[in-house]
Amino acid sequence: MAQQVWYRDIDGGYWGSPKLSADLRHQAQPQMRFLQKGLVRTVTDFSKHDSDQILFDKISNLISAGRVISETETVPITKTKTYRSSLTVYERGLAVSWTGKLDLLSQFSPNEIATIALKNDMAKCRDKAAGAAFQTTDMIYVPTGTVGAPTFDFATTGTPGASATRSITAYDVKVISRLMQTYNIPLWDSANYICISSINGLQDLADDDSWVEAAQFGDPARLFSGEIGRYWGVRFLTENNVLNGAIGTGGACGEMIFIGADAVIQAVAEPPHLRLDIPSDFGRENKMAWLSTEGFCSTWDYSTEGETHILRVFSL
Protein backbone atom coordinates (compact mmCIF):
# COMPACT_ATOMS: atom_id res chain seq x y z
CA MET A 1 0.00 0.00 0.00
CA ALA A 2 1.29 3.49 -0.88
CA GLN A 3 2.84 5.34 2.01
CA GLN A 4 2.50 8.91 0.77
CA VAL A 5 -1.20 9.69 1.18
CA TRP A 6 -3.47 12.74 1.14
CA TYR A 7 -5.60 11.92 4.12
CA ARG A 8 -2.71 12.23 6.64
CA ASP A 9 -1.19 15.71 6.80
CA ILE A 10 2.28 14.45 7.71
CA ASP A 11 2.33 12.00 4.76
CA GLY A 12 1.15 14.37 2.04
CA GLY A 13 -1.87 16.31 3.24
CA TYR A 14 0.29 19.39 3.83
CA TRP A 15 1.26 19.42 0.14
CA GLY A 16 -1.88 21.27 -0.80
CA SER A 17 -4.29 23.80 0.70
CA PRO A 18 -7.88 24.77 -0.12
CA LYS A 19 -8.04 27.34 -2.91
CA LEU A 20 -9.86 30.58 -2.15
CA SER A 21 -12.13 31.61 -5.01
CA ALA A 22 -11.47 35.06 -6.45
CA ASP A 23 -15.23 35.65 -6.69
CA LEU A 24 -16.85 37.39 -3.72
CA ARG A 25 -20.58 37.02 -3.16
CA HIS A 26 -22.58 39.68 -1.32
CA GLN A 27 -25.78 39.12 0.62
CA ALA A 28 -28.97 39.88 -1.31
CA GLN A 29 -30.62 43.27 -0.97
CA PRO A 30 -34.35 43.99 -0.55
CA GLN A 31 -36.52 45.52 -3.25
CA MET A 32 -36.51 49.28 -2.69
CA ARG A 33 -39.09 51.49 -4.44
CA PHE A 34 -39.88 54.69 -2.54
CA LEU A 35 -36.97 56.76 -3.86
CA GLN A 36 -37.69 56.12 -7.51
CA LYS A 37 -37.72 59.21 -9.68
CA GLY A 38 -41.13 60.86 -9.68
CA LEU A 39 -42.42 59.46 -6.39
CA VAL A 40 -40.49 61.94 -4.25
CA ARG A 41 -40.15 65.59 -5.30
CA THR A 42 -36.90 67.30 -4.33
CA VAL A 43 -37.08 70.90 -3.12
CA THR A 44 -34.84 72.78 -5.54
CA ASP A 45 -34.20 75.93 -3.48
CA PHE A 46 -32.69 74.26 -0.41
CA SER A 47 -29.05 73.30 0.07
CA LYS A 48 -26.21 73.63 2.57
CA HIS A 49 -26.05 76.76 4.73
CA ASP A 50 -29.89 76.92 4.75
CA SER A 51 -30.32 75.77 8.37
CA ASP A 52 -31.89 72.40 9.21
CA GLN A 53 -35.45 73.32 8.21
CA ILE A 54 -37.27 74.57 5.18
CA LEU A 55 -40.74 76.07 5.42
CA PHE A 56 -43.16 75.56 2.57
CA ASP A 57 -46.58 77.10 1.98
CA LYS A 58 -49.65 75.56 0.40
CA ILE A 59 -52.56 77.57 -0.97
CA SER A 60 -56.13 76.32 -0.63
CA ASN A 61 -58.82 76.64 -3.23
CA LEU A 62 -61.08 79.66 -2.94
CA ILE A 63 -63.16 79.36 0.22
CA SER A 64 -66.43 80.06 -1.61
CA ALA A 65 -67.36 79.23 -5.19
CA GLY A 66 -68.50 81.44 -7.97
CA ARG A 67 -72.30 81.77 -8.46
CA VAL A 68 -74.95 83.59 -10.39
CA ILE A 69 -75.20 87.26 -9.40
CA SER A 70 -77.97 89.71 -10.17
CA GLU A 71 -77.49 92.84 -12.23
CA THR A 72 -77.46 95.22 -9.26
CA GLU A 73 -75.65 92.95 -6.85
CA THR A 74 -72.06 93.54 -5.87
CA VAL A 75 -69.73 90.80 -7.05
CA PRO A 76 -69.07 88.51 -4.07
CA ILE A 77 -65.53 88.48 -2.70
CA THR A 78 -63.71 85.49 -1.26
CA LYS A 79 -60.16 84.46 -0.37
CA THR A 80 -57.78 81.53 -0.14
CA LYS A 81 -56.14 80.04 2.96
CA THR A 82 -52.41 79.53 3.33
CA TYR A 83 -51.09 76.48 5.16
CA ARG A 84 -47.46 76.39 6.28
CA SER A 85 -45.47 73.24 7.00
CA SER A 86 -41.82 72.53 7.70
CA LEU A 87 -39.38 69.86 6.62
CA THR A 88 -36.38 69.03 8.81
CA VAL A 89 -33.18 67.47 7.51
CA TYR A 90 -31.20 64.92 9.52
CA GLU A 91 -27.72 63.46 9.33
CA ARG A 92 -27.66 59.77 8.47
CA GLY A 93 -24.72 57.48 7.99
CA LEU A 94 -22.72 54.42 8.92
CA ALA A 95 -19.01 53.55 8.88
CA VAL A 96 -16.80 50.51 8.42
CA SER A 97 -13.24 50.27 9.74
CA TRP A 98 -10.39 47.86 9.07
CA THR A 99 -6.76 47.50 10.09
CA GLY A 100 -3.75 48.26 7.97
CA LYS A 101 -2.58 44.69 8.52
CA LEU A 102 -5.78 43.30 6.99
CA ASP A 103 -5.33 45.64 4.02
CA LEU A 104 -1.74 44.48 3.65
CA LEU A 105 -2.29 40.74 3.87
CA SER A 106 -5.81 40.12 2.56
CA GLN A 107 -6.35 38.65 -0.90
CA PHE A 108 -9.39 40.94 -1.22
CA SER A 109 -9.50 44.71 -0.94
CA PRO A 110 -11.23 45.81 2.32
CA ASN A 111 -11.85 49.16 0.63
CA GLU A 112 -13.83 47.57 -2.23
CA ILE A 113 -15.79 45.32 0.14
CA ALA A 114 -16.66 48.28 2.37
CA THR A 115 -17.72 50.33 -0.65
CA ILE A 116 -20.28 47.78 -1.79
CA ALA A 117 -21.59 47.09 1.72
CA LEU A 118 -21.94 50.79 2.55
CA LYS A 119 -23.71 51.59 -0.74
CA ASN A 120 -26.21 48.82 -0.03
CA ASP A 121 -26.86 50.10 3.49
CA MET A 122 -27.18 53.68 2.25
CA ALA A 123 -29.85 52.67 -0.27
CA LYS A 124 -31.85 50.73 2.33
CA CYS A 125 -31.66 53.43 5.00
CA ARG A 126 -32.69 56.24 2.65
CA ASP A 127 -35.51 54.18 1.15
CA LYS A 128 -36.85 53.53 4.67
CA ALA A 129 -36.68 57.24 5.48
CA ALA A 130 -38.65 58.10 2.35
CA GLY A 131 -41.11 55.24 2.95
CA ALA A 132 -41.83 56.47 6.48
CA ALA A 133 -43.02 59.79 5.05
CA PHE A 134 -45.52 57.95 2.83
CA GLN A 135 -46.77 55.96 5.82
CA THR A 136 -47.74 59.07 7.82
CA THR A 137 -50.94 59.73 5.86
CA ASP A 138 -54.22 60.18 7.75
CA MET A 139 -56.19 58.14 5.19
CA ILE A 140 -56.35 54.50 6.24
CA TYR A 141 -58.23 51.78 4.35
CA VAL A 142 -58.82 48.34 5.88
CA PRO A 143 -60.30 45.40 3.92
CA THR A 144 -62.95 43.65 6.01
CA GLY A 145 -65.67 41.08 5.47
CA THR A 146 -64.87 38.05 3.33
CA VAL A 147 -63.70 37.56 -0.24
CA GLY A 148 -67.26 36.50 -1.15
CA ALA A 149 -68.86 39.41 0.73
CA PRO A 150 -66.22 42.15 0.92
CA THR A 151 -66.59 45.27 3.05
CA PHE A 152 -64.12 47.90 4.16
CA ASP A 153 -63.32 50.38 6.90
CA PHE A 154 -62.08 53.85 5.95
CA ALA A 155 -60.66 56.41 8.38
CA THR A 156 -59.13 59.87 7.98
CA THR A 157 -57.62 60.08 11.46
CA GLY A 158 -54.38 58.20 10.79
CA THR A 159 -55.54 55.25 12.90
CA PRO A 160 -57.18 52.08 11.52
CA GLY A 161 -60.79 51.69 12.62
CA ALA A 162 -60.79 47.90 12.27
CA SER A 163 -58.55 44.90 11.74
CA ALA A 164 -58.20 43.40 8.28
CA THR A 165 -59.97 40.08 7.74
CA ARG A 166 -58.81 39.45 4.17
CA SER A 167 -56.35 40.65 1.57
CA ILE A 168 -56.90 43.26 -1.13
CA THR A 169 -58.92 42.16 -4.16
CA ALA A 170 -60.12 43.84 -7.36
CA TYR A 171 -63.14 45.06 -5.37
CA ASP A 172 -60.87 47.08 -3.07
CA VAL A 173 -58.83 48.61 -5.89
CA LYS A 174 -62.05 49.97 -7.41
CA VAL A 175 -63.22 51.31 -4.04
CA ILE A 176 -59.84 52.89 -3.26
CA SER A 177 -59.59 54.50 -6.69
CA ARG A 178 -63.06 56.03 -6.24
CA LEU A 179 -62.22 57.19 -2.71
CA MET A 180 -59.06 58.90 -3.89
CA GLN A 181 -60.94 60.67 -6.65
CA THR A 182 -63.75 61.57 -4.25
CA TYR A 183 -61.22 63.22 -1.94
CA ASN A 184 -59.70 65.01 -4.92
CA ILE A 185 -56.31 63.29 -4.75
CA PRO A 186 -54.60 64.23 -8.02
CA LEU A 187 -53.57 61.44 -10.37
CA TRP A 188 -49.84 60.77 -10.40
CA ASP A 189 -49.48 61.10 -14.17
CA SER A 190 -52.89 62.52 -15.17
CA ALA A 191 -54.09 58.97 -15.88
CA ASN A 192 -53.04 56.69 -13.01
CA TYR A 193 -52.34 56.46 -9.32
CA ILE A 194 -49.32 54.54 -8.03
CA CYS A 195 -49.52 51.71 -5.51
CA ILE A 196 -46.46 50.36 -3.72
CA SER A 197 -47.33 47.07 -2.07
CA SER A 198 -45.61 44.63 0.22
CA ILE A 199 -44.81 41.34 -1.47
CA ASN A 200 -47.79 39.51 0.04
CA GLY A 201 -50.25 42.36 -0.44
CA LEU A 202 -51.19 41.50 -4.02
CA GLN A 203 -51.57 37.75 -3.76
CA ASP A 204 -55.39 37.68 -3.95
CA LEU A 205 -55.57 40.51 -6.48
CA ALA A 206 -53.16 38.69 -8.79
CA ASP A 207 -55.49 35.66 -8.76
CA ASP A 208 -58.54 37.73 -9.70
CA ASP A 209 -59.82 37.05 -13.22
CA SER A 210 -60.26 40.74 -13.96
CA TRP A 211 -56.62 41.43 -13.00
CA VAL A 212 -55.42 38.60 -15.21
CA GLU A 213 -57.46 39.92 -18.11
CA ALA A 214 -56.22 43.48 -17.62
CA ALA A 215 -52.62 42.29 -17.45
CA GLN A 216 -53.03 40.21 -20.59
CA PHE A 217 -54.80 42.69 -22.84
CA GLY A 218 -54.50 46.18 -21.41
CA ASP A 219 -51.18 46.34 -19.60
CA PRO A 220 -49.02 49.35 -20.58
CA ALA A 221 -45.27 49.63 -20.70
CA ARG A 222 -43.65 49.54 -17.27
CA LEU A 223 -42.46 52.92 -15.99
CA PHE A 224 -40.95 51.87 -12.67
CA SER A 225 -38.58 49.25 -11.37
CA GLY A 226 -40.68 46.52 -9.79
CA GLU A 227 -43.87 47.50 -11.61
CA ILE A 228 -45.99 44.38 -12.13
CA GLY A 229 -49.10 45.71 -13.82
CA ARG A 230 -51.94 48.20 -13.95
CA TYR A 231 -55.57 47.83 -12.94
CA TRP A 232 -58.45 50.32 -12.66
CA GLY A 233 -56.17 53.31 -13.14
CA VAL A 234 -53.53 52.18 -10.64
CA ARG A 235 -49.96 51.14 -11.42
CA PHE A 236 -48.69 48.51 -9.00
CA LEU A 237 -45.17 48.02 -7.65
CA THR A 238 -43.91 45.59 -5.02
CA GLU A 239 -41.24 46.06 -2.36
CA ASN A 240 -39.93 44.34 0.77
CA ASN A 241 -37.79 46.95 2.51
CA VAL A 242 -40.33 49.17 4.30
CA LEU A 243 -43.88 47.87 4.29
CA ASN A 244 -45.33 45.21 6.61
CA GLY A 245 -46.10 42.08 4.62
CA ALA A 246 -46.96 39.76 7.50
CA ILE A 247 -49.97 37.47 7.24
CA GLY A 248 -52.53 38.37 9.90
CA THR A 249 -56.07 37.61 11.01
CA GLY A 250 -58.14 35.59 8.56
CA GLY A 251 -55.25 35.37 6.09
CA ALA A 252 -55.13 39.14 5.64
CA CYS A 253 -51.69 40.30 4.63
CA GLY A 254 -49.79 43.13 3.18
CA GLU A 255 -49.48 46.85 3.76
CA MET A 256 -49.94 49.04 0.67
CA ILE A 257 -49.46 52.72 -0.14
CA PHE A 258 -51.59 54.38 -2.84
CA ILE A 259 -49.99 57.56 -4.13
CA GLY A 260 -51.15 60.61 -6.06
CA ALA A 261 -49.12 63.49 -7.46
CA ASP A 262 -46.82 65.58 -5.25
CA ALA A 263 -47.20 63.27 -2.26
CA VAL A 264 -43.81 63.51 -0.53
CA ILE A 265 -41.05 66.10 -0.73
CA GLN A 266 -37.34 65.83 0.00
CA ALA A 267 -34.83 68.46 1.09
CA VAL A 268 -31.10 67.82 0.69
CA ALA A 269 -28.40 69.80 2.47
CA GLU A 270 -25.70 67.25 1.69
CA PRO A 271 -26.32 64.52 -0.91
CA PRO A 272 -25.61 60.89 0.04
CA HIS A 273 -21.98 60.00 -0.57
CA LEU A 274 -19.10 57.81 0.57
CA ARG A 275 -16.25 59.38 2.52
CA LEU A 276 -12.83 57.98 3.49
CA ASP A 277 -11.48 59.06 6.84
CA ILE A 278 -7.84 60.05 7.24
CA PRO A 279 -5.95 56.89 8.30
CA SER A 280 -4.99 56.93 11.98
CA ASP A 281 -2.33 55.26 14.12
CA PHE A 282 0.27 55.72 11.38
CA GLY A 283 -1.99 54.14 8.76
CA ARG A 284 -2.82 51.09 10.85
CA GLU A 285 -6.56 51.93 11.05
CA ASN A 286 -8.76 52.87 8.10
CA LYS A 287 -12.40 54.00 7.98
CA MET A 288 -15.02 54.61 5.35
CA ALA A 289 -18.55 55.92 5.87
CA TRP A 290 -21.64 56.85 3.93
CA LEU A 291 -23.20 60.14 4.97
CA SER A 292 -26.12 62.34 4.01
CA THR A 293 -28.03 65.27 5.44
CA GLU A 294 -31.56 65.22 4.08
CA GLY A 295 -35.18 64.91 5.08
CA PHE A 296 -38.53 63.67 3.79
CA CYS A 297 -42.10 64.59 4.65
CA SER A 298 -45.59 64.26 3.23
CA THR A 299 -46.69 67.40 1.41
CA TRP A 300 -50.22 67.63 2.81
CA ASP A 301 -51.76 66.90 6.22
CA TYR A 302 -55.42 65.95 6.10
CA SER A 303 -56.06 66.61 9.79
CA THR A 304 -55.18 70.31 9.50
CA GLU A 305 -55.52 71.08 5.80
CA GLY A 306 -58.31 68.78 4.66
CA GLU A 307 -56.12 67.29 1.96
CA THR A 308 -53.71 64.42 1.51
CA HIS A 309 -52.25 62.77 -1.57
CA ILE A 310 -51.65 59.35 0.01
CA LEU A 311 -53.88 56.48 1.11
CA ARG A 312 -52.51 53.64 3.22
CA VAL A 313 -53.91 50.12 3.40
CA PHE A 314 -53.05 48.95 6.88
CA SER A 315 -54.45 47.48 10.08
CA LEU A 316 -53.10 46.86 13.56
Domain boundaries, the chain: 30-60+82-316
Do residues 147 and 169 make contact, with C-beta atoms less than 8 angstroms apart?
A: yes
Do residues 269 and 47 make contact, with C-beta atoms less than 8 angstroms apart?
A: yes
Q: Record the pTM.
A: 0.90
Residues 6+ apart with CB under 8 A from 121: 94, 290
DSSP SS3 for 301: coil
Do residues 286 and 97 make contact, with C-beta atoms less than 8 angstroms apart?
A: yes
Q: Which helix (H) or strand (E) holds 235?
A: strand 234-239
- From 95-109, 136-150, 176-190, 205-219, the region with the lowest mean pLDDT: 205-219
Reported as a single tens digit per residue, the pLDDT across 159-217 is 999 988 888 999 999 999 999 999 999 999 889 999 999 988 888 887 777 776 676 55
Reported as a single tens digit per residue, the pLDDT across 15-40 is 998 889 999 999 999 999 999 888 99
